[in-house]
Amino acid sequence: MKIEEQELSGILLITPNVFGDQRGSFFESWNQKAFKEANLDFTFLQDNHSRSQKGVLRGLHYQIQQPQGKLVRVAYGSIFDVAVDLRRSSSNFGKWFGVVLSDENNQMLWIPPGFAHGFYVLSERVDFLYKTTNFYEPSLERCILWNDPDVDINWPFKDLSSPILSVKDKNGIHLKNAEIYP
């Protein structure tokens, strides 16, 4: 397993050891002991699986009071995955990080508590899997507008009217008006 710290401190790109043979491939997507030995000591409370079609954009989501750390990956397809630093005391507050996660690179992203998260679907279909360190609590969930000019994410599509969004995500708020915790 290779673990690479990214330019936004706390964000880790994890490349597992993949074993291929004539049947296909295998890798451990989570092993508490192995991750702990690599100083990744997380306790996960929830596993989630979403399926999306090409052009869907989900995000940018975070929870106040019960922030969730997320270990995210793609089981089928490919996405452009984005995390935005919302840690009030961070020198990177408001900055974003993006990476392509796919069923070809098998990479996982660790997004610590205190970040907003979202992704854009590049393939015809995507199965997106993630573990979270805290429970989903809709009353505490908040959504920052995916195209907030103050965050200025360089999404990998040209026509900014094109993504398929939920009503909630269409009504996301601007970072400057967002509730940030802590």
Ligand X SMILES: Cc1cn([C@H]2C[C@H](O)[C@@H](COP(=O)(O)OP(=O)(O)O[C@H]3O[C@@H](C)C(=O)[C@@H](O)[C@H]3O)O2)c(=O)[nH]c1=O
Of 168 and 174, the one with the shorter C-beta distance to ligand X is: 168
Catalytic: which of 61, 62, 117, 120?
A: 61
Torsion of CA 84, 70, 63, 114, to 10 degrees: -50
- Nearer Cβ to ligand X (35/58): 58
CB closer to ligand X out of 9 and 48: 48
Please, what is the minimum distance in Å from the beta carbon of residue 172 to ligand X? Answer: 11
Residue whose C-beta lies closest to ligand X: 136
Task: Report in angstroms the alpha-carbon separations of 112 from 23, 44, 82, 100, 116.
Answer: 35, 12, 13, 18, 10
Smallest gap, in angstroms, from Cβ of residue 33 to ligand X? 26
Interacting residues toward ligand X by CB under 6 A: 48, 50, 58-59, 61, 117-119, 136, 166, 168
Beta bridge partners of residue 149, listed in sequence order:
none
Phi-psi region of 147 (alpha: psi -120 to 50; beta: other; left: phi over 0): alpha
* Spatial distance between the Cα atoms of 90 and 88, rounded to a whole number of angstroms: 6
Annotated catalytic residue 174: no
Min dist CB 32 to ligand X, Å, is 21
* Amino acid (one-letter) located at 94: G
Of 91 and 139, nearer to ligand X (C-beta) is 139
As measured in angstroms, the least distance from the Cβ of 56 to ligand X is: 9
Catalytic: 61? yes
Residue 59 phi, psi (nearest 5): 125, -175
Catalytic (active-site) positions: 61, 130
